[in-house]
Amino acid sequence: MKEKTVSEAIHFRRSVRIFDPEQSIKSMVVKKCIEQASLAPTSSNLQLWEFYHIQSKDLLNNVAKVCYNQPAAKTAQELVIPVVRVDLWPNRIQSNVDHIKNSNKGSDEKKIKGALDYYQKVIPKLYKGTSRLRGFFHSLKINLDGLKKVTYREVKTNDLRVVGHKSTALAAQNFMLSMAALGYDTCPMEGFDSVRLKALLKLPKKAEISMVIGCGIRKEEGLYGERFRIPFEEVYFKK
């Protein structure tokens, strides 16, 4: 099968609610698309995500149950679950620091120092806001600073959660478009019992599930009508 262009993949991708049990998909292809997902842009390159690739029949059935047995989960041949891991920020910072030190030998020392300062001073100060008390006081200071200068204000616990979910959602879109380019179908789902699903995946308390993505090959009845979008003129504003 010829791989689709980006535009073709975007138009092909639909949220498929019923997958065809007679048409199989290859786990290695799904894994490759997850690798493509991990190349998505991410805030400060922290990559505060993990991807759980569900192939076990027993686990597929159990995950479908906590997704209310909705058809997109129940008929999926495999599931991919992007998970937000804001709690891993110290590890991800260290990975970036190590990369800068190892890959920039002989480069402009001033630029290297600037990059290291960013990861060792600026970003830790921001992500310490994952502690609610620290985040609250940091926010007070930031808003005072904002009276005099341009200031980044999203520093509280819930702000950082949003940042983590935005980056993970970008990765999920990369995954779904990669699947579409290869003729595979997906359906992102937000309807699930997050507590039970975290228990099934044995996730730590601070991990958060972004969505559950069903994977397979569409049945025609799995497309619930033609694609509908609000007229472009209602959402596009030229300034």
pLDDT (tens digit per residue) in 149-190? 887 777 788 889 999 999 999 999 999 999 999 999 999 999
What is the pTM assigned to this prediction? 0.92
Q: Does residue 165 form part of some domain? A: no
Q: Does residue 61 form part of some domain? A: yes
Please indicate, yes or no, whether residues 82 and 183 belong to a single structural domain of this protein. Answer: yes
Average pLDDT over residues 203-210: 97
Please give the pLDDT value at position 132.
74
pLDDT (tens digit per residue) in 18-47? 999 999 999 999 999 999 999 999 999 999
Please indicate, yes or no, whether residues 98 and 211 belong to a single structural domain of this protein. Answer: no
For residue 143, name the pLDDT band (cuts at 50, 70, 90).
Answer: confident
Q: Does residue 239 form part of some domain? A: no
Please indicate, yes or no, whether residues 82 and 96 belong to a single structural domain of this protein. Answer: no
For residue 146, name the pLDDT band (cuts at 50, 70, 90).
Answer: confident
Please indicate, yes or no, whether residues 11 and 82 belong to a single structural domain of this protein. Answer: yes
Q: Does residue 163 form part of some domain? A: no
DSSP the chain: -PPPPHHHHHHH--B-SSB-TTS---HHHHHHHHHHHTTS--GGG---EEEEEE--HHHHHHHHHHTTT-HHHHS-SEEEEEEE-GGGHHHHHHHHHHHHHHH-TTS-HHHHHHHHHIIIIIHHHHHGGGSHHHHHHHHHHHHHHTTTS------SHHHHHHHHHHHHHHHHHHHHHHHHHTT-EEEEE--S-HHHHHHHHT--TT-EE--EEEEE-B-GGGS-SS-----GGGT----
pLDDT (tens digit per residue) in 116-141? 999 999 999 889 877 777 777 677 77
Domain with 53 in it? 6-86+170-234
User: Of 137, 158, 179, which one is at a domain's C-terminal end?
Assistant: 158
